[in-house]
Amino acid sequence: MTRHPVTRRQLLKEVYRFGGALAAGMFLSACNRPERVFEQVLGPFFPDPGDPVTPIRELGNPSAPYPLSNDWDLTQIKGHDRSAQGQVVLLSGHVLDPAGQAVPHASLMLWQAAATGRYNHQGDSVAHSFRDPRGKVIERTLDPHFQYWGHCVTDDQGRYQFKTVLPGYYPADLGSGWFRPPHLHFIVQAAKFPELVTQTYFRGEALADTDFYQQLNASDYILRDPALSHEEQERLIIEYAPGQTPGVLQGAFDFIVRRHQG
């Protein structure tokens, strides 16, 4: 019996996207400014059409794809009297082109695990309870008040903002002791630019468990993509710190879309 929490189909999906990320990494050159946001794999829990997901969505239109059906605030589902569990974080920044110019009307999709480390996808079906490297037992329960997917469009200055919660870490392979650190998944789509798929990570003294997260960041096979330099990998780890709203940690990050090849 396998202890891998993902199915073979999901792994193939991940490997397929990982290959794309490696190819993109090889194409990159140092001549582009500003610094690029490097690609990271799509991961197994972004829903393809027909994939079974728990039906949490804000819009009543069932034909809208799940990732597009929700708004920028993942902590509050419209009509719910309770909000999501977990540390609230606010992430904002810009979508920029390789010359550093703002990209207005770009579409950003964010999806992630809940504070427990559980995705809203029936493919996330293994290791719903696990013992972490410190011996702590984690129950990966679904949060019915967490939105799981967010969507926003950049304004005329290329600005975006998401409000969400710090996702939990979770086991990618209990057999080898690989735990995915807290991370956010993004797809950025803008006219005239190739789609950008990436992941961002967490650091900051205000995070309750930041030392442990940095251990997980240091050994995560996806963040530590050998196609990326150490500096490029580190750029994907966003610093979160207290901001204007008590109890909310803020981070800033710019997504840099790349040029079409050829």
Q: Applying CB under 5 A, which residues contact Fe ion?
A: 43
Active site residue 8: no
**Under a CB-based contact definition with an 8 Å cutoff, are residues 157 and 102 in contact?**
yes
Residues belonging to the chain:
262
Q: Which residues contact 226 (CB under 8 A, 6 or more apart)?
A: none
The residue from 180, 203, 235, 258 that is catalytic is 180
**Under a CB-based contact definition with an 8 Å cutoff, are residues 202 and 181 in contact?**
yes
The residue from 36, 151, 185, 203 that is catalytic is 185
Q: How far is the CB of 34 from Fe ion (least distance, A)?
A: 26
Q: How far is the CB of 122 from Fe ion (least distance, A)?
A: 15
Q: Which residues contact 129 (CB under 8 A, 6 or more apart)?
A: 137, 138, 139, 140
**Under a CB-based contact definition with an 8 Å cutoff, are residues 222 and 233 in contact?**
no
The residue from 183, 203, 235, 258 that is catalytic is 183
Q: Nearest to Fe ion by Cβ — which residue?
A: 43
Q: Which residues contact 48 (CB under 8 A, 6 or more apart)?
A: none
Active site residue 180: yes
Nearer to Fe ion, 43 or 47 (CB): 43
Nearer to Fe ion, 97 or 220 (CB): 220
Of 91, 31, 25, the C-alpha closest to 254 is 91
Q: How far is the CB of 205 from Fe ion (least distance, A)?
A: 24
Nearer to Fe ion, 180 or 235 (CB): 180
The residues with which 199 forms a beta bridge, in sequence order, are 185
Active site residue 170: yes
Q: How far is the CB of 137 from Fe ion (least distance, A)?
A: 21
Task: Give the Å distances, CA to CA, from 8 to 12, 15, 23, 195, 205.
Answer: 6, 10, 22, 25, 38
The residue from 66, 119, 201, 213 that is catalytic is 119
Nearer to Fe ion, 197 or 249 (CB): 197
The residues with which 256 forms a beta bridge, in sequence order, are 96
The residue from 66, 148, 160, 170 that is catalytic is 170
Q: How far is the CB of 81 from Fe ion (least distance, A)?
A: 29
Nearer to Fe ion, 5 or 43 (CB): 43
The catalytic residues are 119, 170, 180, 183, 185
